[in-house]
Chain A
């Protein structure tokens, strides 16, 4: 089970991204970090920590559950577990930064964009991921990404939320993810 990203490297990467975000968007009050449940939650948290550390910025935070927005909602859910979405206030005029752990086909991101749009009309939506594993089926690209890695189509990328930081592992097809 090869490690794609050590905890320390993902911390450094999120710090670099926080810097890039502040450079691009000098008014952090207009930022909103929206995590894609549930993998995106620790990514958004890590990013928020660095934004606070670097700039004292406290962007608003939200989360979306994309189950109801999937393009295969009617066929591909053997046991639908729908989590709550939570967007504080309005997204109108905000720069929304969608946070997820891994981007693969891009379908989840497409659904997350639709979900955010249902709360209003943001000025911009950008995408931040820990790992871009390639294999896109839609024209969706991350604006910020800690690691680009070519991962075989059958393999999985698992991100673990460890005390030292986020750890990304590549798990071969059929291999158990248990440590």
Chain B
């Protein structure tokens, strides 16, 4: 029996097919907790989870916060705008400070790729990456995998098309690692300016038009156009993007008849996704949100095991 415990979750590459499946299985039980009349179990009583968000986030932060609270952990939120970062404190000193407060898990979102790994090297706590720059967002990939498995009944053998701003998307990167690990066939598509320079590095097929990617897809994953991460304008206009790359009901007809549509949120309605698709019967966007809490409960649970036991 392999050890399913996690020291840190910085990247999907910290997982293997078996440990990822173990997390998804555990998340099934945690999903049940969120649907009970009393949405709380005493499992992590006495553990401290610090949510350290150096970048704006509502859904991911709330999701981690609820996940910790439903496991009875003490959850503290630190956000960049109200933290001593604004007074000039370095990330290194922030980490040392939180470490001295005996955090068990530090959840880090940061605009700089690699920041969670930097934190992990400087604390005794377990570190969970909640999105770092254009690098990774492993819990998003896990919740996407969980949603796919619940709605389609499996992951292996499915054709998944990830469409949009691939180059700046940590969601795309994490999914391009996780879903093939679980047996799915993944391809990405977007305007050439928003594809990674070295798309072979993602290890998946890439297209500069959405039609060939959509053909027969079982899962269509839309990405947000991230205006905040593009230094220069890489798009002529949002209207042109919507016309050529946005997911309309008509374009969706190319996908498999029972294809599901996913979006990590927040959605730019009328840009990457049309209203009738976002609210349509194929959309599993809200199921993704529900899955997010369950998956994060599973991650916090496994990261909160006592270090001595964890290493033995």
Contacts and interface: CB of A to CB of B under 8 A. Distances in A.
A55 interface: no
Given A75-B306, A79-B2, A69 B25 contact: no
A69 B43 CA distance: 6
Contacts of B53: none
Given A68-B42, A77-B305, A120 B29 contact: no
Contacts of A86: 32
A149 interface: no
A120 B305 CA distance: 29
B38 A118 contact: yes
Interface in A82-132: 82-86, 90, 114-115, 118-120
Contact of B38 (A69, A81, A82, A119): A119
Interface string A113-156: 01100111000000000000000000000000000000000000
Contact of B29 (A79, A84, A114): A84
A140 to B, nearest CB: 18
B242 interface: no
Interface string B7-34: 0000000000000001001101110110
Name which of A68, A75, A114 has the most chain B CB atoms within 10 A of its CB: A68
B197 interface: no
B48 to A, nearest CB: 12
Contacts of B44: 73-74
SS of A interface (majority): loop
B182 interface: no
Contacts of A80: 4, 26, 301-302
A174 interface: no
A78 interface: yes
Contacts of A70: 43
B37 A69 contact: no
Contacts of A115: 41
A114 B309 CA distance: 25
A68 B41 contact: yes
Contacts of B47: 74
Contacts of A74: 43-44, 46-47, 304-306
Interface of B: 1-5, 22, 25-26, 28-30, 32-33, 36-38, 40-44, 46-47, 71, 301-302, 304-306, 309
14 contacts: A67-B29, A68-B41, A69-B41, A74-B44, A78-B3, A79-B22, A81-B25, A81-B26, A82-B25, A82-B26, A84-B32, A114-B42, A119-B36, A119-B37
Interface of A: 65, 67-70, 73-86, 90, 114-115, 118-120
